[in-house]
Chains A and B, each alone.
Chain A
């Protein structure tokens, strides 16, 4: 994408060289998977990511708290943000129209890690349609993935969810 933009905008040898250098400095987000090696995390990069442009829980006083993104994972422990990454997040309707959410986490530390996770389900006006689920324990081996999964009890009215994770 960036190479196309640059190529179209200038088209000189200098520009092409700059485009190549830029693409090396900032590799595309869909980087190829790297096999046969232990994963490396850049948790700082994850922490600096901008908020999603979607629905969020906000304080009744403007800017009194950080908005809590919905249909997302919320860390409740600062230390955990340096140890765990959210690799993927899914929401699906089941056959009975309840909602199943699933998150895959990565343990970025060199020791086994225990985290707790729970889900809250909300309707289209962010009303909590049921109590938050019980905290569920997820054990993640070093530099490995762990999966958390939860189902709502309510059906059609569920529109948003929030997964909160905490340390043990």
Chain B
């Protein structure tokens, strides 16, 4: 019974983590949109 409860807790935590990693969290800064330092990235 205890092992079963532990499995359920682990499953719930993993599902929660996966959902956060996929649909939530702070959006990362897009490196292409940042202003390069002067002298860099001349195209």
Contacts and interface: CB of A to CB of B under 8 A. Distances in A.
A120 interface: no
A52 B34 CA distance: 12
A3 B32 CA distance: 28
Given A9-B10, A88-B32, A95 B42 contact: yes
Contacts, number: 93
Interface string B14-43: 110111011101111110111111111111
A134 interface: no
Contacts of B40: 93
B33 A71 contact: yes
Interface residues of A, number: 40
Nearest to B14: A9
Given A71-B34, A72-B33, A95-B42, A10 B10 contact: yes
A88 B30 CA distance: 9
Most buried by A among B15, B27, B35, B42: B35
A6 B21 CA distance: 11
Contacts of A10: 7, 10-11, 14
A91 B11 contact: no
A1 to B, nearest CB: 6
A93 B39 CA distance: 7
15 contacts: A2-B19, A5-B21, A18-B15, A50-B27, A88-B32, A89-B32, A90-B33, A91-B33, A91-B34, A92-B36, A92-B42, A93-B42, A94-B42, A97-B39, A99-B35
